């Protein structure tokens, strides 16, 4: 599977969630609107997506492009900001003002980050690598997503080697907690490429 196709489907799923969450109800109305479930889906999807990008995609960008370090550093900085906002959502409750501020800030930041990737990084990356490399990277992303963390972990340094080692322990703990709490049922499906 082509890496950019896989990531594009992931982005499409997240953009759909962002569309629903943009301007979501606050106060008492948010507690009965299903907002908490939708945000849980977003946290899971985004946590997995960013983890696999940091493990595989950004190192590939660094290797393939002369300005890969600059592009990857900017993207990872955006992702870290997003993780901190997702953690704020986890740490607060639906209906609280801080929750809704963090949610709206995340919606805006995620849209900016997705646009940056798709418009600035992907065209350069696609021009620099072979179809075979895209396919191999796509397979790595697809396999990694199945076992990726389901929480943001903003304090974990976004270093590929750490994410592939310590991150795997963290991901295992996330998956066990998800199973024990019933959160696993809210895990959004992986993109299906035909």
* Angle, in degrees to the nearest 10, between helices 68-91 and 97-116: 160
Q: What is the pLDDT of residue 34?
A: 79
Taking alpha carbons only, the member of 163, 136, 161 closest to residue 147 is: 163
Residue 171: alpha-carbon gap to chain centroid? 14
Classify domain 3-186 at the CATH topology level.
Answer: 1.20.120
Put simply, whether the predicted model's pTM sits higher than 0.85 gets the answer no
Which regions in the chain score pLDDT beneath 50? 193-194
Taking alpha carbons only, the member of 101, 109, 111 closest to residue 26 is: 101
Q: What is the pLDDT of residue 153?
A: 82
Share of the chain above pLDDT 90, in %: 61
- Classified as helix, coil or strand, 66 is coil
Instruction: Output the six-digit token pair for 40.
Output: 């849980």
- In this structure, the chain runs to a length of 194
């Amino acid at each position: 599977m082509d890496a950019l196709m896989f990531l594009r489907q992931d982005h499409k799923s997240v953009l759909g969630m962002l569309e629903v969450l943009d301007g979501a109800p606050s106060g008492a109305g948010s507690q009965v609107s299903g907002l908490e479930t939708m945000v849980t889906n977003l946290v899971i999807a985004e946590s997995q997506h960013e983890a696999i990008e940091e493990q595989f995609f950004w190192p590939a960008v660094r290797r393939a492009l002369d300005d890969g370090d600059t592009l990857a550093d900017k993207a990872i900085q955006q992702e870290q900001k997003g993780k901190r906002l997702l953690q704020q959502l986890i740490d607060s409750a639906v209906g609280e003002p801080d929750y809704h501020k963090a949610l709206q800030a995340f919606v805006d930041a995620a849209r900016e980050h997705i646009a940056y990737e798709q418009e600035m990084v992907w065209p350069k990356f696609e021009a620099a690598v072979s179809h075979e490399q895209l396919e191999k990277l796509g397979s790595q992303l697809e396999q990694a997503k199945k076992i990726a963390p389901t929480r943001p972990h903003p304090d974990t340094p976004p270093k590929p080697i750490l994410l592939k080692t310590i991150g795997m322990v963290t991901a295992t703990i996330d998956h066990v907690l998800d199973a024990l709490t019933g959160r696993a049922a809210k895990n959004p499906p992986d993109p299906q490429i035909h």
